[in-house]
Structure 1
């Protein structure tokens, strides 16, 4: 697999970098937190962490968040957990793949005993994340976080037979394994973007969220395929397309990028219709947050050394 930079993912939304806080300061405090939490277990992992610039990722994904550090911590936690499973470093027992609801208690209850640095960091971080969340948002975030964690225990995620998964099955898994639903929940942690349960559960709102989820996950797949392929991870849109159709790697990259661009056009149509029908101030702010995530995540992937050897 060789590096190729021929495909383009179309995105009509300008990205914005958070200017409410000092991003270099967030990066430094994030590094201190990750070290103290025991998430950076080896010099190579710590070096890769510094190069990735997760604080920068948060700054583009949440450009209006005044407390950016807690968002950056969540993104860091997700990437650390994901890397453990991608690289087969996940613990045999006590990991997140059996669910995390016990680590995310409601009403001030004590969390279950954490058995690894990753689960201990999650229990600590939950108290900080949940502090400003309305109860319905806490409940939704918990469900989405638990579905994400349990996705690692699915047969498809655990498969190491060398067989490429079916495209439809892969897309369904990716909507869970990307943890994007939790990241979109956090847009509503900002009060002006909070959606009351009826509006959040509306099918039109859900359709817009689902399209954003696909776009963000598929974009990540295009940029991360080389990294994942090195570790034997075949759950990637590019790899699925390559294996299922026999197309070249270049063709698979271009097809995945085209699929992502087409899904972005669908998202654009869906959000236009949603706002025309139910354009409340909170919904407009939430949709703006989705656009910021789509464009910000894409820009971070393009610039982060974490994906320097990507296929794009």
Structure 2
């Protein structure tokens, strides 16, 4: 266990928002976890205190309430897998066995009518989630959700191999793995479902839109690593976190690694803002809504990260901020020295709007106040 880490207010130009029915949504997610018996009794008792339904209400503050509840239940289910199988269970150190278990769950997600794992709580919960995906989404969205779930399962098996060996990957590999094992990509189809539309492939699959989604995943997972470091470092088990990766990669101490991680996510946040502005100029209303939802996803994860008992750990308080910063620590337009994501910086047009001329309505920096009118 290292010394306490004081996390400074991080740069967040996106305005906070929450669904008006957040309390009811959070209560329903708790009831859903109990009804399906997600995780062990001890794990479930922890998860239902983490305001996971409230997190979903922050991600989809204007979404259809039934889809917001679906998102809350799904995120809790993901924690049941991640905490129960991967991080706290013995199978999380046996990647071959973990792959076998996850592959069976994937079959349930693909074909919920298949008579397998019928007494397994996670499988029963997954069947319910898939049926609700079908109810509120399209066949294409359901297929993308299953594909993203496969990517998530693949990445946590990769992480399990490091856990088994006690090794720390290099920064490039960690970044690639983190784009998927944070389960952010599995949420993306629900952003569309929450607003009752399906983004057309000619928009969703173009490189800049894919990059915007990856940038959101990078920011969310870097923030999560920063906010969760206290909790993870207090345990006796192996943990993998960007601060550990940076310490190994560059020979930094803990505080230097924190400063570096904050600068990295700040630089990506600035890029996300610029790319958002550029895409919005010619985007369809659906694509604008999708980009807006990515922003809500980023800010919702931030607000939840500094307030949920999952990370504040009141019995051993984490030194987390209670506010956010209006200014980045790094606004360089140079790519990060991480090859798997450096291509993001190639996507901006030379005429991209400068930072003072934003066209999005959710930026709260003083120099962008005119964008709110």
Q: TM-score, normalised by structure 1?
A: 0.90
Supply the distance in 1 between the matched residues of 2:301 and 2:82 (Cα, whole angstroms). Answer: 17
Cα deviation for residue 30 of structure 1 reads 1.6
Matching residue of 2:30: 31
Aligned CA distance change for structure 1 residues 6 and 141 (closer, same or farther; 3 Å): closer
Deviation for aligned residue 1:231: 4.7
Q: How many residues align?
A: 306
SS of aligned partner of 2:306: helix
Maintained 8 Å contact 2:178/2:221: yes
* CA gap 1:126/1:232 in 2 versus in 1, 3 angstroms: same
Give how far 1:96 is off: 4.5
Does the C-alpha gap of structure 1 residues 110 and 264 become closer, same or farther in structure 2, counting only changes over 3 Å? same
Kindly indicate whether the alpha-carbon contact (under 8 Å) linking 1:193 and 1:286 is maintained by their aligned counterparts in 2. no
In structure 1, the residue matched to 2:264 is 259
Q: Is the 8 A contact 2:102 2:153 kept in 1?
A: yes
Q: Which has the higher contact order (CA 8 A, sep 6+)?
A: 1
**Aligned pair 1:113/2:116, yes or no?**
yes
Structure 1 stretch displaced more, 240-249 or 191-200: 191-200
Q: Structure 1 residues 265, 241: CA separation in 2 closer, same or farther (over 3 Å shift)? A: same
Given that 2:60 and 2:194 are in contact with CA atoms closer than 8 Å, whether structure 1 keeps it comes out as: no
Does the CA-based 8 Å contact 1:193-1:283 persist in structure 2? no
State whether residues 192 and 199 of structure 2, in contact with CA within 8 Å, keep that contact through their aligned partners in structure 1. yes
Check 1:231–1:289 CA distance in 2 against 1; reply closer, same or farther (3 A cut).
Answer: farther
Structure 2's unaligned 5+ residue stretches are 321-373
The Cα offsets for residues 93-130 of structure 1, whole Å up to 9 and x where unpaired, read as: 68653364411236xx6235126322221122111122
Q: RMSD between aligned alpha carbons?
A: 2.2
Q: How far is the alpha carbon of 1:242 from its aligned partner?
A: 1.8
How is 1:262-277 mapped onto 2 (pairs within 5 angstroms)? 262-276=267-281
Q: Does 1:58 align with 2:77?
A: no
Q: Which runs of 5+ in 1 are unaligned?
A: none
Q: What's the counterpart of residue 48 of structure 1?
A: 46
- TM-score of the two chains, using structure 2 as the length reference: 0.76
Rg larger in 1 or in 2? 2
- Structure 1's 160 and 311: CA in aligned 2 closer, same or farther, altered over 3 A? farther
